[in-house]
Structure 1
C-alpha cells in the first residue's frame, strides 16, 4: 500500500473532489462572517445531523446572510491546502422560503433605489429597426417559442442570437450573468432580451438576485426584461431599459409591426403627395404673380422707352432744323463776303504780274494790268502811275 505525505494526501483528495464538479447543498446558515475587511466570506450550513463549512470571496456574495436562513448553495467540494479542512467553494447562493425571499427582495430594492438605478433618465431607448437581437432564456421553455412566434409575425429579416440559459434553480444565476457578458463581448447585437415565463417568488428568485441585476445594469447594449405575467415584477424589470410584461410583449417591444410600418409609409406617401401638390400650387401662384409683375414692368419700360424715343426724335428734328438754319446763315454770310459778291456790287480787282494790287508802285508803269469785273476781264497797259 502506498504511503502519502500529508500534502500529497490533501492534493489527491482535492483532485478527486474536483472531478465531482459542482454540487447543490441545502441547509441552514450559521456563523456568517466576513474576514480580511470583507474580502473573504465564511459560514456554515447545518441540518439535524451535520455541519458543512462554506467559503467564497467577498465580491462573489454581495448580500449578507443571516443565521437561521435556509438556502441552497451551489459550489465545488474542496480541501484547504494548508489545513486540509473540507469545505464548499461557493459559486452561488439562493434563498429558500417566501418570507426570506420577500425580506431579501425589499432590502435589495431599497439599496438599488438609493443608488438611483431605477431612475428613468438612465434608461436607454431601443433602436426602432434592430438587425441583430440577443435572446437569453431557457431553450425548452414556452417563453422561447412565444417570443420567436410573435417576433416572426411582426417583423422579418432579424437575426436572433440565442444563448440558452437556465432561468431558475441552482446555477441559473451564473448562467444568466455569463450569457449577458457573452452577448456584450462576443456578439454585435443591437438589443438584448432576457425573458422567462411566470412563477412563484422562489421561481423568480434568479431575476431578483443582485448578480443578475448588476449584470443587466452593466450591459453596454439596451436590455429588455420580460418576466412571467402582468403581476410579476422583478428587480431585473426595474433596472432594465425596457420592461415587458410577458415574453410575447417583449417581442412586441423590440420590433415594430410591419403592417403598422406599411400603413405609416402609405400615410407618409399621401402626406408627401399633398405637400408636393401644395408646394407646386404655391410656387405656380408665385410664378404667375412674378410674371404679371414682370409684364407690368415691361409695359412701363416700353412706354418709357417710347416716350424717350419720341422726345429724342423731336430733339433731333429741332437740332437738325437749327443746324440747317445755322448752315444757311453761314452760307449767306460766306456768300456776302465772297469776291464774286463784291464784284457784283460794282467793284473790280486789278492784277499785275499775277498779283492783286493793293498799293501803287512806280514799277507798274508800262506793265499790263488785268482788271477782273463781275462778268469778264479787261486788259490794259499802265502808262503813268500817279501817287
Structure 2
C-alpha cells in the first residue's frame, strides 16, 4: 500500500554519480602535481601499462602509467625504488579508487640534473648547435685518429682493440683527460683545444664508458658542448652505453652508442680492403694480359703488312707517271670539247640576231592590236543587245505597266495592301495607286464576288 503523501526525503545520488562528481572535483582542483615516494606493488601486464602504489612512511596512493608515457623510460623501475612522478590526480570511477595518472617518472634526487639537462638542450638547440647543416663530414679514410678520454678507462682499451683489428695502420693519439668529477669539464675542453693545436688528427673520438647520470654529467656541461661545436676537426661522441644520451651527442658531428662502436664507424675494415685490393689486382692482371695479347696481335698483323720502302717508292713513282699522262690526255679532250662548244654558240648567235627578233615581235604586236579592237567592238554590241532585251522584259512584268492598263493598288491608312474586301469596313479611308497618280476614298459598302 503506497502513501499518497509526497516523499520529503532529499534525493539520493547513485554510486556512479557520486564517483563522477568526485572525479571532476579532483581533476579540476589539482590539475598537475609532482609527488615523491617509494614504488610498491609494481605490475607490468602484457598491455604495456604500469600499475603501482607510491608510498611514504604513513600513506600510499595508487598510480597508473600508460604505455604511451612509459615507453620513453630507459631504466625500468622496481619495487623499493625512490622516484619522483608528474601526473594528474583523478578517480577510477569503476572501483572508486583515488589515483594518479603518471605522465613522467624519474629517480628521486636526479630531478635537478634532469631539469638542467633539458634546459641546456633547449638553449643550445635554439642557437642551432644541433642543426644537421652544421655537422662536418667525417673522412672516409682517416689518416690519423685522436681520442679524448681517460688513459686508464675501459673506453681507450675498447677503441684501440677495435682499431687494431680493423685497421692497425692508422696512427692514434690519446689526449688524456678526466671524464668524471668537477675537474673533468675543464680537462675535456683543454684536451679538445690541444688536439686542434696539434693538428695531426682528422677525426676525434670524445667519450668514456658507461656510468650513472652523475658520472656522465661532465659531457652535459655547456662548456664542453661549445668546445665541441667550435672544434674544426670532425668529432664523434661516444659516451656511456647505447641507452645513455648526453648533450655532447647532440652537438658532435656523429653520435656513436659506445666507444667501440665509434671506432667501428670511423675506421675502414682492413680485411675488406684487402679483399677488395685482391679483386682489383686480379682485374688489373687480367686486363694487362688482354692488352698484351691485343698488342701482340696488332704487331703481328702490322709486320705482315710491312713492305720494303724502296719498292713502295717505285710503285708511287709509276703511279705518278700514270696520273700525269691521264691528266694531259684529259686536258686535251677538255680543250677540244670547249672549242666545239664555242663554234656551236657562235653559229647560234648568228642565226638568232636581236634585230630579226624585234621585227618579228613588232608584227605580232600589230596583229594582236587589230584582233583586240575587233573583239572589243563585238563584245560591246553583244552587251547592248542583251541590255535592250532585259529592258523589254522588265517593262512587261513591271507593276507600272499593269497600272497603265487600268488596274490600281489599294492600301489602308497604314500603307498595308488590301487583297480581300473582308479586310475593310464601311467608313474606312483607303488609298488607291493608279497608273498616273493616286486617290483617297472612303468605303461606303462592301460586296462579295460571286463565281
TM-score by length of 2: 0.41
Higher strand share: 1
Higher relative CO (Cα under 8 Å, sequence separation at least 6) belongs to 1
TM-score by length of 1: 0.47
